[in-house]
Amino acid sequence: MRIVIDADDAGLQLKHDLVDHLETLGVEVIDLNYLGKTPDASYPEIGYNLAVRIKDQEYDRGILICGTGLGMAMIANKVETVYAGPCHDVYSAERLRKSNNAQVITMGARVVGVELAKTIVDAWLEAEFQGGSSKPKVETMHNLENQSFHPETEL
Ligand code: RB5
């Protein structure tokens, strides 16, 4: 699994803590470090840059961190075929994969402590889409997304 991570200024420390944590576990994670190349960037550009790479299938899963996790989720969800949700508890992180099949998790460094954030990321990485009764719901979401991006196509 190819995993990618990035953060805005509010999420930088938590991003570094999570990269260290994942590397300790032997999980390879690519830090896009958009801020390092573009110091004036804020969460929309940083989140968009990561989400486009998920859309292009350069990476399978992404972690985005800002102050609240909200702005990052909002911009990632603007990219076609990319699904993201903010998670500050383990149950939601599992359901984000098992029920919603989202590729991107977002977290707020001003909301969650570092130890909980590590546990949340671990749970999210271990979880997979469960299919079953969740499958038609996710398919409906994809169809409605397609209608939104391409209103000329039939539902
Ligand atoms: C700070 O720019 C803050 O607005 C940002 O990190 C994020 O919380 C937005 O959703």
Ligand 1 centroid distance, CA of 106 (Å): 12
Region 26-39 average pLDDT: 97
Q: Break the chain into its structural domains and give their ranges.
A: 3-149
Task: Give the per-residue pLDDT at 155.
Answer: 66
Phi (first) and psi of residue 153, to 5 degrees: -85, 150
Burial 43-56 (b: 16+ CB within 10 A, else e): bbebbbbbbebbee
Digit-coded pLDDT (tens) for 80-133? 999 999 999 999 999 999 999 999 999 999 999 999 999 999 999 999 999 999
Ligand 1 centroid distance, CA of 39 (Å): 15
Digit-coded pLDDT (tens) for 52-81? 999 999 999 999 999 999 999 999 999 999
Task: Give the per-residue pLDDT at 108.
Answer: 98
Which residue CA neighbors atom 8 of ligand 1 most closely?
67
In CATH, the number for domain 3-149 is 3.40.1400.10
* 85 within 8 A of 115, measured Cβ to Cβ: no
Of 4, 66, 73, 121, the catalytic one is 66
Residue ranges around ligand 1 (CB below 6 Å): 8, 10, 42-43, 66-68, 70-71, 108
Digit-coded pLDDT (tens) for 43-54? 999 999 999 999
87 part of the active site? no
Task: Give the per-residue pLDDT at 153.
Answer: 80
